[in-house]
Amino acid sequence: MGIARISIVTMLLACMPLVGQAAEVQLAVASNFTAPMRAIAERFERDTGHQVLLAFGSTGKLYAQIHNGAPFDALLAADDEVPAQLEAAGLGVIGTRFTYAIGTLVLWSAREGFVDDQGAVLAQRSFRHLAIANPKTAPYGAAAMATLAKLEQVDSIRGKLVQGENIAQTHQFVASGNAELGFVALSQVLDGDGEIHQGSAWIVPARYHPPIRQDALLLTKGRDNPAARALLDYLRSAAATEVIEAYGYGTQ
């Protein structure tokens, strides 16, 4: 009996440090990265024991929330400008910023056969509404406007534009049929096997707009949070890279 009791106590004591090492990270994530981040968070929690609380929104809105004291430990932005600005303002930890994904813009319709593989539908203008994310706060919206400028379609299409607050709302406009087509993130229309799960799409050539470099940053609140640092490290792992690339993003 004495030996049994000692064995049980030893096992409990051995487990205590593992419990003590587990921590929680509050992560602000750009809307376009919703699906891959949920998959990565699940793997991260399983592999490390840490817990992840996810908050999604446009990068511009997340920037404002962080400036106003939102309790985020780290940020996964949809661009590389906002993390640099936060770092310069003393709201991010210097030396922790890196590009975790390079985004891909796609012109998408929930209708089969509506969008051709060259994007000629834009010039034909056989649609009433084209959805884009707010180009002032959402990098994918800015990329959409740059694409329209490249195609010399800004003036002719301006009256058809409907603007989502972020890329998630923009996708919803198209998915619901309120807009026949729209510029969204490729990750939003891919299934787990890397195939477009519904409708028709044109993947916009990268040369049509500035690169959508999506940077991560450890925020000052998360400086001493082991889960926050572990999560940012995990984003560079083979397990995370597999998910990121499966959702149509490039990696460095």
- 6 pLDDT band, cuts 50/70/90, is very low
Q: Of 174-183, 184-193, 233-242, which gets the smallest average pLDDT?
A: 184-193
* Mean pLDDT estimate for the chain: 90
Q: Where are the domains of the chain?
A: 8-102+211-246, 105-203
For position 252, what pLDDT does the model report? 72
Nearest CA-CA partner of 222 in 41, 30, 91, 83: 91
pLDDT score of 60: 87
- Rg over CA atoms, the chain: 21
Q: In the CATH scheme, what is the code of domain 8-102+211-246?
A: 3.40.190.10
Output the pLDDT for position 58.
Answer: 86
10-50 per-position pLDDT tens digit: 343 334 334 447 899 999 999 899 999 999 999 999 999 99
The answer, yes or no, to whether residue 2 has pLDDT greater than 80, is no
The two domains 8-102+211-246 and 105-203 share their CATH topology (first three levels equal): yes
Write out the CATH class of domain 105-203.
alpha beta
| Residue range 111-140, pLDDT digits in tens | 999 999 999 999 998 899 999 999 988 889
Residue 4 has pLDDT above 70, yes or no: no
0.85 surpassed by pTM: no
With 80 as the cut, is the pLDDT of residue 155 above it?
yes
Residue 183: what are its φ and ψ, rounded to 5°? -90, 120
CA triple 42-35-142, angle to 5 deg: 140
Residue 164 has pLDDT above 90, yes or no: yes
Residues 6+ apart with CB under 8 A from 14: none
User: Rounded distance, CA 122 to CA 76, Å?
Assistant: 31
